[in-house]
A and B are shown apart, each in its own frame.
Chain A
Amino acid sequence: MAPIQPARYDDEDAPGGGGRARKAARYAVPVAVAGVAAATISLVPALADSGNPSLPSITAEQLLTKIAASDTQTVDGTVKVTTDLGLPSQLTGSAGGAMFGGEAGKVQGRGGQSPAAPQSQLVQLLAGTHTLHVAADGQDKQKISIIESAAEYSIIHNGTQLWAYDSASNQAYHQTLPQDSGKGSASTTPQDVPATPQDAARQILKAADGTASITVDGTARVAGHSAYQLLVTPQHADTTTVGAIRIAVDAKTGVPLRVTLTPKGGGKAVFDVGYTRVSFSAPSASTFTFTAPKGVKVTEGGTQHQSRPDNRDRSGTKGAEPTVLGQGWDSIAVVKSQGGPLAGGPADKGFKGRHGNGGAESLMNSFGSHVSGAFGSGTVFHTRLVNALLTDDGTLYVGAVTQSALTDAANAAAK
């Protein structure tokens, strides 16, 4: 076979003296591109919010006054909420990837409630990382959207109207609120699920009043804004599992931009809520209007008349108002069931309702540990922040305190 010698005009195919060197040079191109690409992906987000801006020094009191005096009523931003209680993933339902884009791992409908009802949706914020879009214009108009993969859950509060739309199930929820509901609380969410840094900071500063040391601890950049860092450390509280709380406060407007809670045991933050993008200009009015689209099933939540709105009552248990032992950071909530034995306990109902299967009990036993003491025996459930003791006679002790504090409280109650 005769040698085939094609004529060529491509420079890059022309011969060179050191073939091996040239070969190496060619392979250096993809390696260099890969290096630049990897560096871009990993460094750019880190650099965007790095560095400590130099701000005029300020005392903690001044900063607290600034927060209280902040009259920013309009906000439009993206919030990232990360909760890492160290719970087993079966409980939180975040296991496995939804490869086909569905919300496969989501908590199933509980107790026949509409999947679009706020109380069944906001619980998911208690585990994992979520992205939220938050818009607010005064106390009467708020919108919170939980951005999920190929799905979204929105709550729109406009005056007396509360709408919620769940795209995964294509269902809506509507509730008419009493006239004065907007006053005093600037959030439509149940108070124990803080969805924005403002909510979280408000709750923490309320709890910290007089029971914690509050200091200014440097500055930070959050979502492109220069912010002061407020460090809240619990004081006179020996049994609490709360280590420290950092609140980043916008230097210009006094709006809390980020709240991070680290446990006493160290490690990653248990709770981290912060803006990744925020603007304080008013969102367009159409943001807060909602008309149920055609073909959407709407569940009416009814009109609220009672002083304690339904959407605050997440647990869905009847009777059994919790009593609180101790005070400040060491406080323990006690829920006594009227039913007595474990099977009728309110916590058990809650768990069963929440997961809709008979395996809840075995699941509880699999991650709880058995303890006994003067109060009898019971099961302790650990998370990285909150611990809970469910005694065999059906009393539930819950608090952000150590396990021994819980058993001590149970022992004291048994006397």
Chain B
Amino acid sequence: MSRAEAKAGGPAVGEPEAAAGHTGGPSGTAGAGGPAAAVAVRAPRPLWTLGLFRSELVTVFRRRRTMALCAVLAGVPLLVGIAVRIETRGGGSVGGDRGNGPAFIEQVSNNGLFLTFAGLAATLPFFLPMAVGVVAGDAIAGEASGGTLRYLLVAPAGRTRLLIAKYVSVLVFCLAATLVAAVSALVVGFALFPVGDVTTLSGTTLSLPEGMLRALLIALLVAASLVGIAALGLFVSTLTDSGIGAMATTVGLLITVQIVDSFPQLHAIQPYLFTHYWLSFADLLRDPVTWTGIGKNLGLQAMYAAVFGSAAWARFTSRDITA
């Protein structure tokens, strides 16, 4: 059947075969083996998954590298804000007359709220997905290389459940990381620049509360834009037992995809790249709001989550856990 059967009683913890042996031999069918095992122990409590998820969440957020990544994400808007502040001190505009540099940077000196948009536009292409790639790549492979994966599987949670808990905790990190960048930008923007009504890209004006609401929606969209790379990182993470390898591969894939996305000659494959519609969050600042790009972005992220999430499931539930 597999390697695990050959080393019966070995370190193949959490293997389906091991469970089957308990209930009556490897020839037991899926219909007979599964429920029997469940009844033998106890009925699963719904809150159980929540507990597993909570412990995963604590694991992610108590890591020092998570703290460091969040510090970097908070630092980027601060840096941008200070640079814009110094550049426009004499009443000049940023980046000359022609709107060079990151999106929205031109409006920052007029309205501090725009630092939130500029900060997200500056961190979304690289810093945010890099942070997510590190956390997602570490999710399974980090446990494997630390030798703790088998102990996680000792608990009667099942691999699928563990994988889901891992993925959800990575998604929570996506949201948290985005909010860290956004809140940092908001605080810096309000501290350094005047704040007032928001000028949309179309030249119309939104009231400040409306503008803040749009900023929140944009932060949620940016977080949702990271769903795809989170699934990709999780899949890579199930392929290897080396945490560093999984992180490097995920971040490397991100860079490759970003480069491919910037070649106009490769336009045929670009609609399939998870980074392609990332900047569509800016469409929320048009008047009227155009939803086409946003819809495409969310659809694409959902597809990446489905494809790589199911690939991670296929790999993780059928592989041998030896570490």
A interface vs B, CB < 8 Å? 1-17, 19-20, 22-23, 26-27, 29-30, 33-34, 37-38, 40-41, 89, 94-97, 99-104, 106, 108-109, 115, 133, 145, 147, 149-152, 154, 156, 163, 165-170, 172, 290-291, 293-296
Contact = CB atoms under 8 A, between A and B. Distances in A.
A296 B199 contact: yes
Given A7-B156, A96-B262, A115 B125 contact: no
Contact of B19 (A13, A40, A41): A13
Contacts of B150: 4
B148 interface: no
Interface stretch (B54-62, B132-140, B172-180, B301-309): B301-309
A317 to B, nearest CB: 23
B306 A150 contact: no
Contact of B103 (A6, A150, A166): A150
B262 A290 contact: no
Given A15-B30, A103-B100, A169-B98, A9 B44 contact: yes
A151 B285 CA distance: 9
Interface string B102-117: 1111110011000000
B219 interface: no
Given A4-B13, A5-B18, A10-B158, A34 B98 contact: no
22 contacts: A4-B18, A6-B13, A6-B153, A7-B40, A8-B16, A9-B37, A10-B160, A11-B34, A12-B158, A12-B317, A13-B19, A13-B158, A14-B30, A22-B318, A27-B311, A38-B272, A41-B271, A41-B300, A89-B264, A101-B104, A154-B203, A172-B203
A101 B121 contact: yes
B202 A97 contact: no
Contacts of B96: 109
A154 B95 CA distance: 22
B34 A151 contact: no
A410 to B, nearest CB: 35
Nearest to A149: B279
Contacts of A17: 27, 29
Contacts of B290: 133, 147
A166 B107 CA distance: 11
Contacts of A294: 110, 196-197, 199, 205
Given A13-B19, A27-B314, A8 B37 contact: yes
B29 A13 contact: no
Nearest to A168: B99
B156 A8 contact: yes
Nearest to A106: B98
Which 6 pairs from chain A and chain B are nearest by CB? A97-B262, A9-B38, A168-B99, A165-B203, A150-B103, A295-B110
A156 B203 CA distance: 10
B100 A102 contact: yes
A131 to B, nearest CB: 9
A9 B155 CA distance: 12
Interface string B19-48: 111100011111001110110110010000
A102 B103 contact: yes
Nearest to A1: B11
B165 to A, nearest CB: 13
A151 B125 contact: no
Contact of A170 (B99, B272, B300): B99
B135 to A, nearest CB: 22
Interface of A is mostly: loop
B2 interface: yes
A15 B103 contact: no
Contacts of A296: 110, 199, 203
Interface string B308-323: 1011011101100000
Given A100-B121, A101-B282, A169-B97, 19 more contacts: A4-B13, A5-B22, A8-B158, A13-B19, A15-B28, A15-B30, A26-B318, A29-B314, A33-B310, A100-B125, A101-B122, A102-B101, A104-B100, A106-B98, A115-B99, A147-B286, A149-B279, A167-B99, A170-B110
B202 A152 contact: yes
B122 A100 contact: yes
A6 B310 contact: no
Contacts of B93: 169-170
Given A19-B2, A33-B306, A97-B262, A14 B37 contact: yes
B17 interface: yes
Contacts of A145: 202
A101 B110 contact: no
A2 B9 CA distance: 7
A166 B202 CA distance: 8
Nearest to A95: B264
A291 B14 CA distance: 67
Contact of B317 (A26, A33, A156, A291): A26
B6 interface: no
A7 B111 contact: no
A131 B33 CA distance: 58
B90 interface: no
B24 to A, nearest CB: 10
B288 to A, nearest CB: 8
B247 to A, nearest CB: 22
B39 to A, nearest CB: 8
B192 interface: no
A99 B276 CA distance: 10
Contacts of A109: 96-98
A273 B16 CA distance: 59
A30 B13 CA distance: 25
